Amino acid sequence: MSRSTLIRSHAMLAAVLAAAAAGCGGGASPAADVGDAAQRVYVAPGQYDEFYFFASGGFSGQVAVYGLPSGRLLKVVPVFSQNAENAWGYSEQTKAMLNTSYGFVPWDDSHHPQLSMTNGVPDGRWLFINGNNTPRVARLDLTTFETAEILEIPHSAGNHASPFVTENTEYAVAATRFSVPTPQEDVSISQYKEKFRGLITFIKVDSATGRMKIAFQILMPGFDYDLSHSGKGPSHGWSFFTSYNSEQASTLKEVNASQNDKDFIAAVNWKQAEKCVAEGKAKAVPAVYAHNVMEEGSQTAGTTMEKSVTMLEATACPGVVYYLPTPKSPHGVDVDPTGEFIVAGGKLATVIPVHSFSKMLKAIEAHDFAGEVSGVPVLKYESIVAGEVKEPGLGPLHTEFDGKGNAYTSMFVSSEIVKWSLKDFTVLDRIPTYYSIGHLSIPGGDSREPWGKYVIALNKITKDRYLPTGPELAQSAQLIDITGDKMRLLLDFPTIGEPHYAQALPASLIKDRQVRTFELTKNKDAYGVTSEAGTGVERKGRQVHVRMSTIRSHFAPDNIEGIQVGDSVFFHITNLEQDWDVPHGFALTGLNSSELLVMPGQTRTVVWVPSKVGVFPFYCTDFCSALHQEMQGYVRVSPRGSSVALASNSAKK
Amino acid sequence: MSRSSRLIVALAALSLAVLYVLPLWHIGLKAPQYPEGLGLYIAADRIVGEKPQDLNSINGLNHYIGMKTIEPDDIPELRFIPKIIGGLIVLGVLVALVGRRGMLYGYAAVLVASAAAGLADFYKWTYDYGHNLDPKAIIKVPGMTYQPPLIGSKQLLNFHATSWPAAGGWVAILVVSLVVGLAVWQWRRGRKPRRVAAGAALALGAAA
Taking the C-alpha atoms of residue A487 and residue A406, their distance in angstroms, rounded to an integer, is 12
A46-58 tens-digit pLDDT: 999 999 999 999 9
Please name which of A637, A644, A648 lies closest in space to residue A611, comparing C-alpha atoms. A637
Separation in Å, CA of B149 to nearest CA in chain A: 25
B35 reaches A (C-beta below 8 A): no
Beta bridge partners of A290: A305
- A454 residue type, one letter: Y
What's the pLDDT score for residue A296? 87
A579 reaches B (C-beta below 8 A): yes
Taking the C-alpha atoms of residue A87 and residue A77, their distance in angstroms, rounded to an integer, is 12
Please provide residue B196's backbone torsions phi and psi, each rounded to the nearest 5 degrees. Answer: -60, -45
Please report residues of B whose CB lies closer than 8 A to that of A551. 60
B64 reaches A (C-beta below 8 A): yes
Separation in Å, CA of A525 to nearest CA in chain B: 21
What's the pLDDT score for residue B77? 94
Considering only CB atoms, B60 lies closest to which of A579, A626, A627, namely A579
Please report residues of B whose CB lies closer than 8 A to that of A627. 64, 138
Give the three-class secondary structure for A645. coil
Count of CB atoms situated within 10 Å of the CB of A10? 10
Separation in Å, CA of A607 to nearest CA in chain B: 29
CA B39 to chain centre: 17
Count of CB atoms situated within 10 Å of the CB of A107? 16
Separation in Å, CA of B123 to nearest CA in chain A: 28
A551, B60: Cβ pair inside 8 Å? Answer: yes
Give the three-class secondary structure for A259. coil
Please provide residue A265's backbone torsions phi and psi, each rounded to the nearest 5 degrees. Answer: -100, 130
A578 reaches B (C-beta below 8 A): yes
pLDDT band for position B192 (50/70/90)? Answer: low
The sign of the torsion formed by the CA atoms of B87, B92, B95, B98 equals: negative
Please report residues of A whose CB lies closer than 8 A to that of B52. 578
Separation in Å, CA of A501 to nearest CA in chain B: 36
* DSSP-assigned states of every residue in A148-159: EEEEE-TT-SSE
A578, B138: Cβ pair inside 8 Å? Answer: no
- B176 residue type, one letter: V
**Domains of chain A, earliest start first:** 51-513 (2.130.10.10), 520-648 (2.60.40.420)
Name the stretches of chain A with pLDDT < 50.
Answer: 1-26, 653
Q: Are A83 and A89 in contact (CB under 8 A)?
A: yes
End-to-end Cα, chain B, rounded Å: 19
B72-110 tens-digit pLDDT: 999 999 999 999 999 999 999 999 999 999 999 999 999
> Which residues does A607 contact at the CB level (< 8 Å), separation at least 6?
A92, A568, A569, A570, A571, A593
CA A568 to chain centre: 35
What's the pLDDT score for residue A32? 56
- B207 residue type, one letter: A
A178-220 tens-digit pLDDT: 999 999 999 999 999 999 999 999 999 999 999 999 999 999 9
Please report residues of A whose CB lies closer than 8 A to that of B60. 551-552, 577, 579
What's the pLDDT score for residue A10? 45
Angle between the B77-98 and B101-131 helix axes, to the nearest 10 degrees?
170
Of all residues in chain B, the one with the smallest CA distance to A520 is B53
Whether cis (ω within 30° of 0) applies to the bond prior to A183 is: yes
Please report residues of B whose CB lies closer than 8 A to that of A579. 53, 56-57, 60
Give the three-class secondary structure for B194. helix
- Mean of per-residue pLDDT scores for chain B: 91
What's the pLDDT score for residue B208? 38
Give the three-class secondary structure for B59. helix
- A218 residue type, one letter: I
Give the three-class secondary structure for A397. strand
Taking the C-alpha atoms of residue A147 and residue A496, their distance in angstroms, rounded to an integer, is 18
Length of chain A: 653
Please report residues of A whose CB lies closer than 8 A to that of B138. 627
What's the pLDDT score for residue A17? 41
Q: Provide the domain count of chain B.
A: 1
A261 reaches B (C-beta below 8 A): no
Element (H, E) at B77: helix B77-98
Considering only CB atoms, A627 lies closest to which of B56, B57, B138, namely B138
Domain of B100 in residue numbering reads as 3-207
Length of chain B: 208
Considering only CB atoms, A579 lies closest to which of B57, B138, B139, namely B57
Taking the C-alpha atoms of residue A99 and residue B63, their distance in angstroms, rounded to an integer, is 43
A578, B53: Cβ pair inside 8 Å? Answer: yes
Please report residues of B whose CB lies closer than 8 A to that of A578. 52-53, 56-57
Of all residues in chain A, the one with the smallest CA distance to B34 is A580
> Which residues does B69 contact at the CB level (< 8 Å), separation at least 6?
B59, B62, B63
Taking the C-alpha atoms of residue A97 and residue A114, their distance in angstroms, rounded to an integer, is 20
A47 reaches B (C-beta below 8 A): no
For testing the chain B interface, which of A517, A552, A579, A599 should be mutated: the one with the most B CBs within 10 Å?
A: A579
Taking the C-alpha atoms of residue A143 and residue A151, their distance in angstroms, rounded to an integer, is 20
Separation in Å, CA of A653 to nearest CA in chain B: 13
B60 reaches A (C-beta below 8 A): yes
Please name which of A61, A81, A50, A78 lies closest in space to residue A145, comparing C-alpha atoms. A78
Q: Are A637 and A613 in contact (CB under 8 A)?
A: yes
What's the pLDDT score for residue A261? 86
Report CA Rg, chain B. 21
Taking the C-alpha atoms of residue A440 and residue A499, their distance in angstroms, rounded to an integer, is 10
On the question of pLDDT at B195 being above 70, the answer is no
Element (H, E) at B4: helix B3-15
Considering only CB atoms, A578 lies closest to which of B56, B138, B139, namely B56
Please report residues of A whose CB lies closer than 8 A to that of B57. 578-579
Of all residues in chain A, the one with the smallest CA distance to B61 is A552
B59 reaches A (C-beta below 8 A): no
Element (H, E) at B111: helix B101-131
